[in-house]
Copies of this chain bind each other. A is one copy, B any other.
Amino acid sequence: MNKNILGIDWGTSNRRAYLIAPSGACLAEHEDGQGMLAVGSRDQFGASLAGVLDAMRLPAETPVIMSGMVGSASGWQEVDYLDASVPLEQLPRHLAAITDAAWSGRAHIVPGYVYRNGASADVMRGEETQLLGAIALGQRNGWIVLPGTHSKWVLLRDGVIQSFATYMTGELFAMLSKGGTLSSMMNGDTSDAAGFAAGLTQAARNEPLSNSLFRVRAGVVSRSAPAQQAAATVSGLLIGAEFAAAARAAEGQGITVIGSPALAARYALAAENFGLHCKVLDPHAVYCTAISQFIKA
């Protein structure tokens, strides 16, 4: 292909669409709340995608590359995970064409990856596309961190995934904020510096999260810690747990964070706290670069 492609990062709750030129330039964007859950049943995805093309005033024959939960068992069409040993630069060869008879256009789904380690497995859907972009931008080696609802820490070696781990950081933070014992004291600023640092320090001790979370509450009710720091401390505990697990492995190498400015700033602070060098890449730029790789292929 040597024309514009519509790339869609189609997640659980939201989707973001970017019209990408062969140069990697982003020509138009569209974002809405029609994530996998909102679309609902499998037979509605075609109409939902037509809605994106329509909203962006693009011709129906525009080639579309989708990544994320759209390729899961609850998405449009389930696409098997690739094994971690398959080089990310081979992703263009493994695209799954949409076979839905109700869809007459050209649309493909990028497969996710599974990493098996003994009896244990970890999976990604969507992040592989970001990784492809990072590689195209020169990040072929070392630790790539993709923070968010499900933060991913990926170790690359010459463009191939050596291992990866997912942390339910954003999801647990949201759950704890919404209800239960801690929620009533989690109204403070999540980026409070002292609270965040206290959480990181605590996380470095590798004590069980179910205990250190309770101690955030105990600190407040026993008047040892200010309530307005609790949200930032919980954030520090959860993000710190990622660093505590990976910091030794990443020592001397540093990490590359692909995240929005606010989130990346918090990870950069945590990296400093754990003695790691940290480089930040803009997720939009990385994504657009990734999609341009599919145009070139």
Contacts and interface: CB of A to CB of B under 8 A. Distances in A.
Interface string A192-216: 0000000000100011111101110
A167 B211 contact: yes
Contacts of A244: 208
A100 interface: no
Q: What class of interface size applies to chain A in its complex with B?
A: 35 or more
Nearest to A198: B119
A240 to B, nearest CB: 9
The SS class assigned to the A binding surface is mixed
Q: How many copies of this chain sit in the oligomeric assembly?
A: 2
Given A72-B221, A122-B215, A206 B209 contact: no
Contacts of A120: 202, 215, 219, 224
Contacts of A274: none
Contacts of A222: 81, 114, 116, 121, 123
Contact of A121 (B116, B176, B179, B219): B219
A167 B224 contact: no
Contact of A210 (B119, B167, B206): B167
A121 B81 CA distance: 45
B241 A168 contact: no
Interface in A227-267: 238, 241-242, 244-245
A221 B180 contact: no
Nearest to A179: B175
B208 A167 contact: yes
Contact of A245 (B72, B181, B208): B208
Contact of A180 (B119, B171, B208, B211): B171
A218 interface: yes
Interface of A: 72-73, 81, 114, 116, 119-123, 150, 165-169, 171-172, 175-176, 179-181, 202, 206-211, 213-215, 218-219, 221-222, 224-225, 238, 241-242, 244-245
Given A120-B224, A171-B180, A208-B209, 16 more contacts: A114-B218, A116-B222, A121-B222, A123-B221, A123-B222, A166-B214, A166-B215, A168-B181, A168-B213, A169-B210, A171-B181, A175-B179, A175-B180, A206-B206, A208-B242, A211-B242
